[in-house]
Structures are given as C-alpha cells and as structure tokens.
Structure 1
Amino acid sequence: MTDSLTVSAAGDTAPPSGSAGMLGRLGDAMAGRTRLVFGIWLAVLVALGAAAPSVFDSLAGAGWQANGSESVRVRELAEQHFGGNSSAAVQVVVHSDTATVDSPQVQQVVGEITGVFSGDARFGAVVPPQPGMSISPDGHTGILIAGANASTDDMVKAVDEHKAALTDLSGDGVEVYPTGASALWSDFNKANHDAMLEAEMFSWPVTLAIMVLAFGSLVAAGLPLLLTLAGLVASAGGLVLLNQITPISVWAMNFAMMFALALGIDYALFIVARFRDALTSAPNARAAVAETMDTAGKAVALSGLTVLVSLSAVLIVPAPAVRTMAVGIMFAVAFVLLATLTLLPAALGALGTKINAAALPHAKRQQHRSPRFAAWGRLLHDKPWPFAIGALIVLIGLSVPVFGLKVAMPSIQVVPADAPVRQGYELVQAQMGKGAPGMLQIIAPAADADRASSTAMTVDGISMVTPAQPAGDDSGLVMMQALPDVDPSDARMGEILDDLRDTLPSEALVGGAPAENLDLQQALDHYLPIIVGIILVLGFALLLIALQAPLIAALGTAVSLLSTAAAFGVAKLIFQDGHGASLLGFTPQGFLDGWGPVFFFAMIFAIAMDYTVFLLATAKEHYEHTGDPKRAQVDGMAHSGRVIFAAAAVMVAVFFTFALADPLPPKEMGIILGVAVLLDAFAVRLVLLPVLLRLTGHAAWRSPAWLRKALPSISFAHH
C-alpha cells in the first residue's frame, strides 16, 4: 500500500489520495486543522487537569490481596461478625519503660486513643489491650485494636487522616505507634509517593539535557517533554474520574508517571526525528507531517499497541492493586499515544521549519541518516559472528542467575526505619516475639473451637493460640489468634500456614495479614507462566501483522525474551544476593518483591518490543524501497540508531533516578527497568538484531503467499 501527496498551485498540500495510509491521512488532517486540534486538547487538559492535582489523595491505598482466596474470606467474616477485628484493623502499640499498661498514666492514653477512633464510622469495635492476648509478658507493652468497618482502601485513608493525632499522644514516658496492615500501607504509600516525586523532579532536567544533545535544538527537544506532560496530566485526571467508578491503586499513578515519561519521549523522539528528515524533501510542512505519520507514525502506533497488549495480560491476576497498576500505565500510554498521533502532528504542522529553532552549532550539520550508525551497521554486516557471539555470551551469562530467583511479598524493611508503623512493629517483636506482628486468624464454627485450638497447637511453628472469642451475633462462629514463632516475612511462614490449613477441621478458615500476602504470592506465581505465554504470543502476532514476515517476527520476539531474562538475572544478583547493595544504599531481603516478575516482565517486554518495532519498521521501510537486505540492515541502523540510542539514554536516565529512592520497591523498579533498557537497546537492538538481519538476508523478510493473503496489508514505505 502506498501513499501519494498532491501539491496544489498555491503550494499547499491537498489531502492525500484514497490510496494513502490511514495514519498518513490522519497526520495530514491534524496538520491542516491545528487550531481545532489545539482547542480540543486544551479543553481536555483543562477538564481533566482540574482533577489531576488530587490524584494521589484520591486513589486507593490498598488492594494487595488475592480476590476469592481463603484469607480474604476470613477478613470478610471478621468484618461481618467480629467487630472488624480483621487484617485491616488498626493496631495501636502503647509502650512505657516505666509504667505498666494497667497504670493510670497508660490507661489515660488508651482512653485518648479510643477517643480518636470514636468519632469515625470507618472504625468498628475498639478492643483495649487484653492480658494474655495483647499485653506483653512484662506488662509494659499493649496493643489496642480498632476494628475495620470499611473497605481496605478506606481504612488506609482513615489511618492517613488520624495517624498524626495518634502519634501526637506520645509523651510523658508513653510511646504510641499505629501499626498493622492499614498503617503499613499508609506509611509505605507516603514514602513511595515522596520518593517517586523526588525522582521525577530529578529526571526531568536530565532528560531535557539528553534531548537537547540528541536533537541539537531547544524547540525540538522541548516538544516531546510538553507532549508527555500533556499525556500525564490527562491520564492523572482520567484516573481520578475512573476511581469514582472502581478503586484505582495509588501505585497506578506512580508507575504511570514513570512509564509515560519514558515512552512518551520515545514516541516523540521517533516522530520528530523523522519529521525533520521529511522536511528536507517534502514540499511543505503539511506534506512532511503526512509522510512522517505514514512511516514513523505506523511504528509508534504499533509500539503503543504492543505496550497496551502486554500490560493487558496482567489484568488476569485477581488482585485489585496489580490490576489497577496495569490500568494506570495503560491509561497513561493511551493518552500519550493519542497525543502523539494527534497533538504532535498538529504542533509539527504549525512549527514547520521552526522545529529547528534555537539550534546548537552541531545540529546544523546533523543528518537524519547518521554516518556513524551507518558505519556501525556496515561493520556488523561485514563481521557479524564476533558481535553475535559476544552479545549472546553477555545476555545468556546474565540470564543464568534467573533460575535461582526467589520471590516473596515485601517485608517491613521496605518501610523507612523512622516510620511509626515500623517502630511499632519492631517494638511488638521485641516484647512479644518475632511472630507477634503477624498473628494468624482462625475462624471456625463454635462446635469445632476446642478441636481447632488443640489441633493448631500441634502445628510446628505455632507457639500460642488465644482463647476462642465468640462472634457478636448469632452466626455461631468463633475467632482465635495463632502466634507464629517466625517473622511474618520468613520463608517458613508459608509452611506454617499450609500445615495449619491442612490439619484444622474442614470448616475452619485461616487468614490474617501474613496469610493474605502468601495467598497473593501464590496467585502471582500461578498466573506468571500464563501471562508470559500470552505476552509472547500476542507480541509475536503483532510483529507478524506489522512486518508480514514470520522469521524476523519470531526472532524479534525471541531476543526480547532473552533481554528480559537477562534483566531478571541482574535483579537476582543485586536484590536477592546483595551485590552492590551497599553502593545502592539498601539491605537485601534475600528475595525479589513478589509482584516484580509479573509486572516487570510485562513492562520490560513492552519496552523491548518498543525498540524492536523502531528498528525493524525502519529496516522494512528501506527493504520495501530497495529489495536489498544489506541496504535494509545498514540504512535501518543509520536512520533509527541515533533515535534508539537517544531514547534509551532518556529511559535509563528516567529509570535510574528511581535507584536514588529510599523505599526498596521503587529502587527495584528503577534499577531493573534501567538495566533492561541498557541491555535491550545496546546489546540487542544495536548489535544482536541487526546481526540477525545480516545472517538471515532475504529470508528475514520473506512471507508465504497464503500468509500475505491472510494478513492485512501494511507498508512502512512512503512513496
């Protein structure tokens, strides 16, 4: 399929003919209606931007659970029948070195804590510290429990609102620390939010500097940043509105901020670079926009679709936080992609040759066809084997450690040491035992209470079971608390939970915060191979449709998988084994956070396919023009190499700024994604994939006649 552009006597480009590609016609339309496009986008940004500032306060703070699991069922029963004494209940630790819990001094503080909770309907029954259950053996530490009378998300918000009032009650020798799962997410979300914002603020000027060096023009460099900012504002406002329909995790925006910045700049880089080249031969700016969108625009559209498809696979995990994290990134990518395909062409049409304004001296000599990358492409073509073997040794060598990768849900160490929830957690451990912050809850019919209690005590790893507490209604249920003798994040906790569930009467259910973490980890482990399979199949299908060539589509998918495995191998070495931990400023947990493999695989593979599309789409464009595989490989590298290099530099800068964060999860995210981009861009896209094009020659682009008939006709060439 080819495009034609006709030029009128006046010199204005008429709309492309009926044979033009859809994106070419879209680009022409956007460039010809700049005021309308700017007006619509301004209205959208004003409307959604009004909601955007409240995004972090509005979004949900919990959702880390496996819907339908036994532990979630226990929490629901606890909220219905036991005054909200569930995993979402707020535990307030009260401690005094000099006074006991039953002293007037401490009892006055307990009363004041009760008063904080009494005026808020989100809290259920308030249970003061009980001897033998929630008071330490020495009597100096007690735990007050405020039941959860609202959803887990609302309980996190309730803690957000009241934790300052609670901690302010500390004084006169009495210490007060709100703790428990809801308080943990409150403190961690704040620390994570602060770290993400700090990293974003640092990454923007670094990104601008890289863009100026890459483009050599302040206008050309600033345009992608403005475009990305528009996409971020729109997605933030959209998530606030979507949160009114269904709870969206605050983590969704955290991830969306980072991913939208990186991908938005990638897309704009590719489009702007191609537009500047088109300006040298097109009769005017509008024709250059049409040509750009008909070539680079197709690659960007395909890349965005690949990212959305990869992330959509994560939606099958039955965990609200995981699903909405994917939704948040998809929202941001969709808005950035929409802006790239509509707002950016309009801006380019309006700017025309002014895109090169405020140019640095070297930019005036810069060509879209990079002589350096052309020379690199010829070197790879002339001596493919040394480079292929070297790249494979690096990638396979880094992939080997992935077979020893361990995953688990985050420990208390992900929360800053000075956070009240961690101080309360460690105090409870010191006074009541390692497993005290992670009590397991057993709910059973009253008739099975004695048998459940005695059976639970026979389980290795359970050091105590509290007396059965009857429900506050006629449900006929009782609740017991089982005290493990290990830290909630200890690997043995999984064995203890399994043994407890296997030995208790069939009607008894086991839950609690540690059980919810373990049930979520089991769900993530179960769905990981399914998600990987879906992403690989859909990624291959999209490349096949775009390139019409099964061999190169399969090779592109395979090398993307290889670079992803290498990134996880590096993650194992750093975050599990602790190599470089002191340099990066963290204490290794001995495992990777449990949601990492599912989520990072989707994100890394999406980024890898991003660069695959840029390189192969450019190479295919030149193959369609010349029919020469060498020209396709060399010119593909010459025309896309600088963009891939610059885009990778921007992504690495964006991601590695998150390595500066104090909380461990954003540090993991930044380093793993940054390493993935380094490996993928420089070892795969700029070495291994071009070498594979050289070694496969015409076969890379060959397609059976029956397949060409079955696939839609897509061309990256512009005639």
Structure 2
Amino acid sequence: MADTTRAVAPPATDRTQGFQAGPLGRLGVWVATHARVVIVAWILVVVGLGFFAPRVEASLSGAGWQAEGSQSVAARQVAGKHFGGDDSAAIQVVVRSDGDVLQGKGAAALREATAILQRDHRIARVVQPQPGMTISRDRHTAILIAGAGADTNEMVKAATDLKGPLERLDSNGVQVTPTGASMLWSDFNAANLSAMMKSEMLSWPITLAILVLAFGALVAAGLPLVLTLSGLLASAGSLVLINSLVPVSIWAMNFAMMFALALGIDYALFLVVRYRAARIGHDAPRETAIAQTMDTAGKAVLLSGLTVLVSLSAVLLVPSPAFRSMAGGIMLSVVFVLAATLTLLPLVLFTLDRRIDKLSLPWVHSGEHRSPRFARWGERLWRQPLLFGGAALVILLALAAPITGLRTAMPSIKVLPDHSAARVGYDRVQAAFGPGAPGTLQILTDSTDTAIAVHTLRHDPGIAGVMPPQTAADGSKWVLLQAVPRVDPSDPALAHTVGRLRVELPSGTLVGGAAVENLDLKSQLDRSTPIVIAVVLGLGFLLLLIALQAPLIALLGTLASLLSTAAAFGVARLIFQDGLGSGLLHFEPQGFLDAWAPVFFFAMIFAIAMDYTVFLLASAKEHWEESGDAREAMVGAVAHSGRVIFAAGAVMVAVFFTFALSGPLPPKEMGVILGFAVLLDAFLVRLVLLPVLLRLTGRAAWWSPRLLQRVLPSIRFAHH
C-alpha cells in the first residue's frame, strides 16, 4: 500500500495482453453473443411501450404548476367543492358587443355559449353575467363563468376542446373569447408544441451533419439515432401509462425528447470511438474489443448516466406536480437511453463490426482513438496553464457577473402569442374591468367573519373593488368574496397586497386565485432552490468521489460546473431581463426571468456538465492508472476524450439554440440558457479549465487517503 500522503499510481499494464473483462465487459460480450434474446427483449419493450407513444400529446396534462399544500391551492379546493367550481381553474368566456351585450346579438351569443359549455361534462355549472361583478359599466362586455367540474389537468383539456366552438360564435359586432388560467395553459401548450416541432425540424438536419463529421461515416452517424428513437418511444409510452395513475405534465415529454437526443449522441460517440480504436486501431478480436469498450467507455457512460439521474432527482424535492413530472420524465428517458447504450449498442457494434465505417468520409481514420489535434492542445495547456486557464476563468466570471442583479417571477401573459385566445380575452377583461381584473382574488372565509373580511378588503390600498359575498349553495360555513386588485397580475405590488391581506384578514381565511397560485409557487421555488442546489452539488461530488476515488479532483470537477452555470444565468439576465437581443430573438421582455428557470435549469445544466466531467476525468483516471504520470493523465485525457466532448457539445449547442429561434418565451429561455451553458462548459470548462486544474494539481489530483480506499468500492478504468 502506498503512503497515504501520496497519490496512488498503479503499475502500467499492457493494453493488449492478458485482458480480463470486468462486469460491464462481460455484459457486453453476453449481449453480443446472445443477439436473439436481446433483440426480442428490445422489440417487446419498444413495440409494447411504443404502442402507447402516439397518444402522448393527447394524454399528458398541461397544468400542475402549483405549490402543493399552499393556501392558494386550499382556496381553490374549497371554492371548487362548495361554489360550483368557481375557482382558479374555471373558464371565463368574454362576450363583447358594439351595443348592449345583454340585448340582440350579444344576448344570442351568451345563450349559445352557455349551451356549448353546459354540454361539456367537465363544466360544473355556468354562472351568468352579474351586474356589478361580470358586466362592465358601459354594458358592452360580459363574462360567463364556466365552473370547473374536473381537476386542473382536465380543465386544460376542456379549454382546448371548447376554444374552437366558442370562438366560432363571433359575428359582426360581437366577439366571443375564452380566457382564464385553464385557457392560458391550453394556449401556451399549443404554442409550445408548435415551437418544439419547429425546433426539432431545424435541429435534426444540423445534428445529422455534425454526427457525420464527428463519426466520419453515415452508418456510424445513424447509431445515436437508433438509441434516441428507442429511448423516446419507450419513454413516451411509459409516460402515457404513468399518466393513467398520476398526472404527468406535457413538458415532461418535451424535455425528455431533448435529453434523449443529447445523451444518446454523447453515449454513442463515446462507445463507438472506443470500439473503433480497439477493433480497427489495435486489431483486437470482436469479443475483446466489445469487452474493452464496455469496461472503459461503458463504465464512464454508466457513471455519467447515474450522475445525470442523481442531479435531476433533486428536482423531486420541489413540492409541485409539474416539476416532479418533468424531472421524472427526463429521468425515465435517461434510463431507457442508458439501457439501450449498454445493451443494444454493443450488439449493433458487434454485428456491424467494420461495416460501421460504410460510406465514410475520405479523410477519416476510423481506428484513431487518440486525436493528434487534441493531443497538441493538451500539450499546449500543459506548457501554459496559467495563460489559458486564466483567460477561461476571466471570461466565465465576466459572463457570470450580471447574475447578481437577476430577478425572477412567474410567467406573465406576455409569454403567449398576441393572437392567442387567452391573451385577447385577458386584454378585453382589463379594458372593461380594470388592470387587476384578470387577477381577481378569491377570499374564502367563515360566514361569521364576512363583515370583518369585507371591511378589510374595502379599506386595503391594493384593492380596487369587492364583489358582493356569495354564500355556499350546499349550506356550508364558507363565504366567497372576490376582490379586484389595482395592479396587473404580474406587477410585484400584488405580492405585497396578498401578504398584507393574509395577515389582516380573520384567522382561517384563505386567499387564492390564479395569480395568487403563481405567487405561492414563486415563494415555494425561492425556498426550494437553495436546497436543490445544495443536494445536487453534494450528490454530484459524492458520485465523482466514488468513481474517481480522488477527493481533490472530484471537488474541483464539481465546483467547476458552477462556473458555466453561473455564466449561463448571467447571460440569461442580460437577454431576458434587460432585453438585450430581444429584437433578434423576437420576444417581448418581461423584466425578469421565469421563476422556475433557476431550480430546474440548474439541475439540467449540472447534469450535462457532470456528463462531460465524467468523460474527461474517467479518461484521465484510466491514463493515471496505466502510467502513474500526471502529464500523461492530463494530455491523454484531452487527446482521447476531447474530440468526443467537442462533437457532443456542438450537437447539444445546435439542438438547444434552435429552441431559441421559435415559439413562446419559456422555450426561448430554455434554448438560450442551456445552449450557452453547454457552449461554455464543453469548450471552456472541460477542454480548458479542468485540464489546467489537472496540470496545476499534478499528482495531488489523484491522492486518496487510506481510509477512503478502504471504504469506497474499487473502481478502475484501465483494462488489463
């Protein structure tokens, strides 16, 4: 045993003689030599689950953006149960007439809209326009309230189904427009789906072109698409089945599509390059080549996949159905892609063997694992670490600096296209009833406290008006008060009004409404974000420590991921909060970043960053185990993994940036933030800063105390 104050450097071993396969190597050989069993199993999985995949868009839900256990959710539940569904999920139908809306064509439109609503089983009851409440002072605008007779997810689907028939009631002099929170999510999901499809159409040709350049052959370039398609079909079908038990957000599938594509390419690149090197570069037998590939690149892929899963699992700590289902959907896609990489891909490689280089580019050297170009780059970093490392650090810190002024809030109506029904109806409600009318508060109080509650509301400086109290039709103790704020629902002043009312209203009173649900979710996200970040960092470090068994480089690798994340959010602040480049990207700045972005995107960015970290450091550890030389560990890692990281990063950047070119604001935020994060992480952190840290720490990077060696399982990356 080496002295505990020095790095442990195992003796060098021959790469081609005396090779003994490890567990993953034996798995690779087994699947390669049991083709029929593996193929039948994957056909059953893909076909069986893929049968349900076409129903994914219609089955998955669009709501769930709420803080479980919050006062606003409790208010919605009480209003839904005791007041005929007149809660935040109710659909509002705005009827505007050039004349008196209760006469002539306006009255006819109200009758027809009522009939349409009453025919839908998801509508509990239809409340007719009430003077002083839902009829404007000029009598040109009236609002029908379609009470929610189902949960929020079903109400979004109801809004989608009802929108067309209601809008067709438009005639000369009368406009009929559905709006409300359920309609907002319906319109947003439709716009988001259109944007996702457009982005996918843009990204696939770019992705294929980069893959051809990266793999150097059309056949090899198609392998990641096999993994991606298998993973997507299986995960889509699984989400449909899970949705029959627990509501799953449609965003789960959207994010799963991106991650399945990105990780499928990453993992396939790593394994294909390594197999080529073993089989074609060193002329190893097929079984040996598969075993070596799985014991080295396969092990790195497995650890990378586990790191991604662990990072995303921290999002499950946020008590919001939408967040949990999105994280779960991505994790499910990762599991399927990982399974396909470790079982299906070895079989494909073994079967195609040298035919993976069919239709190759003339300059491709398919057996080349150690890239001469990246080897020269590694040597340059070794000679001038402070110059290149310092430059990368300055760039990252400069881009991260704006994060100190970052503001967050829940999405405003501006995330919808101008022509969407929910936004048009929103604007008409504001024009007829005041700026705060779309964010009307719902106050549920005990009947004995009604007078005090009304007095409090009427004398609050943030309330423009209070509608007459409504008693529960079922005779319960509850009374519903609806209060119109003075400000737009996205105005920060509304949060102060809600906070003040919750203190001053009688004990037991519930303050809710769609706008308040957003505020409560924002508060929950503010509380959860530090916890999620701490858990992600802690678990990420622990996994790297177990994989590398070197505390110093595991810590530095984890902390380096924070730099690219902070820089990406610094750029996001300049673009989405300050409006830099808004004309180029065609969006209307909200003056803040959507509140769900920090917690969710941090987990996603960290997962991708650690993906590259594992690839680089696993290669470095392999070279260290074989040579015991710090220089060879650093330069060899860059030479062997640099090309894969570069190509995979280029594909991810291309995929993510296509989402910045189309659709509503949230997908643009996703595309820009993730695109910049990958760009900075792959090309500045993993290919410059982390190798420089290996150079500066030298042998200390791989130091491992005796106690740690005894506690941790033995994981080696060099093959013997």
Normalising by the smaller structure, the TM-score range is over 0.9
Q: Is the 8 A contact 1:622 1:636 kept in 2?
A: yes
| Cα distance in 2, alignment partners of residues 623 and 663 from structure 1 | 48
Give 2:565's aligned amino acid. T
Q: Is the 8 A contact 2:278 2:284 kept in 1?
A: no
From the superposition, tell whether residues 164 and 504 of structure 1 become closer, same or farther in structure 2 (CA, over 3 Å): same
Give 2:54's aligned amino acid. P
Give 2:536's aligned amino acid. I
| Cα distance in 2, alignment partners of residues 532 and 682 from structure 1 | 23
Deviation at 1:284, TM superposition (A): 2.1
| Cα distance in 1, alignment partners of residues 120 and 12 from structure 2 | 65
Deviation at 1:4, TM superposition (A): 12
| Cα distance in 2, alignment partners of residues 679 and 570 from structure 1 | 11
Aligned to 2:380: 379
From the superposition, tell whether residues 575 and 426 of structure 1 become closer, same or farther in structure 2 (CA, over 3 Å): same
Aligned to 1:672: 673
Aligned to 1:149: 149
| Cα distance in 1, alignment partners of residues 93 and 456 from structure 2 | 30
| Cα distance in 2, alignment partners of residues 354 and 701 from structure 1 | 39
Residues 358-417 of structure 1 show CA distances to partners (whole Å, capped at 9, x for unaligned) of 111011477221111000000000010011111111111111111111111100011111
Aligned to 2:71: 70
| Cα distance in 1, alignment partners of residues 12 and 85 from structure 2 | 65
Aligned to 2:4: none
Q: Is the 8 A contact 1:2 1:21 kept in 2?
A: no
Q: What does 1:246-645 align with in structure 2 at a 5 Å threshold?
A: 246-279=246-279, 280-364=281-365, 367-645=368-646
Give 1:539's aligned amino acid. G
Q: What does 1:160-309 align with in structure 2 at a 5 Å threshold?
A: 160-279=160-279, 280-309=281-310
Q: What does 1:93-104 align with in structure 2 at a 5 Å threshold?
A: 93-96=94-97, 98-104=98-104
Residues 587-645 of structure 1 show CA distances to partners (whole Å, capped at 9, x for unaligned) of 11011111101100000000000100010001111111100010011111000000000
Q: Is the 8 A contact 1:441 1:482 kept in 2?
A: yes
Deviation at 1:104, TM superposition (A): 2.9
Q: Is the 8 A contact 2:525 2:595 kept in 1?
A: yes
Matched, 1:39 2:40: yes
From the superposition, tell whether residues 432 and 323 of structure 1 become closer, same or farther in structure 2 (CA, over 3 Å): same
| Cα distance in 2, alignment partners of residues 716 and 576 from structure 1 | 45
Q: Is the 8 A contact 2:11 2:628 kept in 1?
A: no
Deviation at 1:282, TM superposition (A): 4.7
| Cα distance in 1, alignment partners of residues 208 and 665 from structure 2 | 27
| Cα distance in 2, alignment partners of residues 210 and 53 from structure 1 | 29
Give 2:160's aligned amino acid. D
| Cα distance in 2, alignment partners of residues 504 and 3 from structure 1 | 75
Give 2:224's aligned amino acid. P
Deviation at 1:356, TM superposition (A): 1.0
Q: Please, what is the CA RMSD of the aligned residues?
A: 1.7
| Cα distance in 2, alignment partners of residues 399 and 267 from structure 1 | 29
| Cα distance in 2, alignment partners of residues 346 and 6 from structure 1 | 23
| Cα distance in 1, alignment partners of residues 53 and 168 from structure 2 | 31
Instruction: Structure 1: state its 5+ residue gaps.
Output: 8-12
| Cα distance in 1, alignment partners of residues 35 and 205 from structure 2 | 29
Deviation at 1:432, TM superposition (A): 1.2
Aligned to 2:683: 682
Aligned to 2:5: none
In structure 1, the residue corresponding to 2:195 is in which secondary structure? helix
In structure 2, the residue corresponding to 1:106 is in which secondary structure? helix
Deviation at 1:107, TM superposition (A): 1.3
Matched, 1:112 2:112: yes
From the superposition, tell whether residues 372 and 314 of structure 1 become closer, same or farther in structure 2 (CA, over 3 Å): same
In structure 2, the residue corresponding to 1:660 is in which secondary structure? coil
Give 2:569's aligned amino acid. F
Give 2:706's aligned amino acid. A
Deviation at 1:485, TM superposition (A): 1.0
| Cα distance in 1, alignment partners of residues 664 and 488 from structure 2 | 20
Q: Is the 8 A contact 1:167 1:178 kept in 2?
A: yes
| Cα distance in 1, alignment partners of residues 371 and 606 from structure 2 | 27
Runs of 4+ in 1 over 6 A off after TM superposition: 1-7
In structure 1, the residue corresponding to 2:511 is in which secondary structure? strand
Q: Is the 8 A contact 1:311 1:602 kept in 2?
A: yes
Q: Is the 8 A contact 2:21 2:291 kept in 1?
A: no
Residues 398-451 of structure 1 show CA distances to partners (whole Å, capped at 9, x for unaligned) of 111111111111000111111111101011111111111110001111111111
From the superposition, tell whether residues 531 and 380 of structure 1 become closer, same or farther in structure 2 (CA, over 3 Å): same
Deviation at 1:508, TM superposition (A): 1.4
Residues 659-685 of structure 1 show CA distances to partners (whole Å, capped at 9, x for unaligned) of 112200001001100000000011100
Give 1:275's aligned amino acid. Y
Aligned to 1:653: 654
| Cα distance in 1, alignment partners of residues 613 and 708 from structure 2 | 22
| Cα distance in 1, alignment partners of residues 680 and 214 from structure 2 | 20
Q: Which moved more, 1:366-375 or 1:188-197?
A: 366-375
Between 1 and 2, higher relative CO (CA 8 Å, sep ≥ 6) is seen in: 2
Q: Is the 8 A contact 2:179 2:425 kept in 1?
A: yes
| Cα distance in 2, alignment partners of residues 70 and 585 from structure 1 | 37
| Cα distance in 2, alignment partners of residues 411 and 341 from structure 1 | 44
Q: Is the 8 A contact 1:577 1:588 kept in 2?
A: yes
Residues 270-308 of structure 1 show CA distances to partners (whole Å, capped at 9, x for unaligned) of 111111111122532222111101000011101110110
Residues 19-51 of structure 1 show CA distances to partners (whole Å, capped at 9, x for unaligned) of 632111111111111222122111211111110
In structure 2, the residue corresponding to 1:359 is in which secondary structure? coil
Q: Is the 8 A contact 1:3 1:21 kept in 2?
A: no
Deviation at 1:196, TM superposition (A): 0.6
Aligned to 1:10: none
The two structures have a TM-score, normalised by structure 1, of 0.97
Q: Is the 8 A contact 1:2 1:20 kept in 2?
A: no
Give 1:490's aligned amino acid. D
Q: Is the 8 A contact 2:194 2:663 kept in 1?
A: no
| Cα distance in 2, alignment partners of residues 658 and 604 from structure 1 | 16
The two structures have a TM-score, normalised by structure 2, of 0.97
Q: Is the 8 A contact 1:34 1:347 kept in 2?
A: no
Q: Is the 8 A contact 2:100 2:140 kept in 1?
A: yes
Residues 99-148 of structure 1 show CA distances to partners (whole Å, capped at 9, x for unaligned) of 21221321111111111111222111211111110111111011100100
Give 1:691's aligned amino acid. V
Aligned to 2:6: none
Instruction: Structure 2: state its 5+ residue gaps.
Output: 1-9
Q: Is the 8 A contact 2:381 2:688 kept in 1?
A: yes
Deviation at 1:2, TM superposition (A): 12
Give 1:147's aligned amino acid. G
Give 1:219's aligned amino acid. V
Deviation at 1:518, TM superposition (A): 0.3
| Cα distance in 2, alignment partners of residues 400 and 275 from structure 1 | 43
Aligned to 1:29: 30
| Cα distance in 2, alignment partners of residues 283 and 155 from structure 1 | 60
| Cα distance in 2, alignment partners of residues 673 and 570 from structure 1 | 11
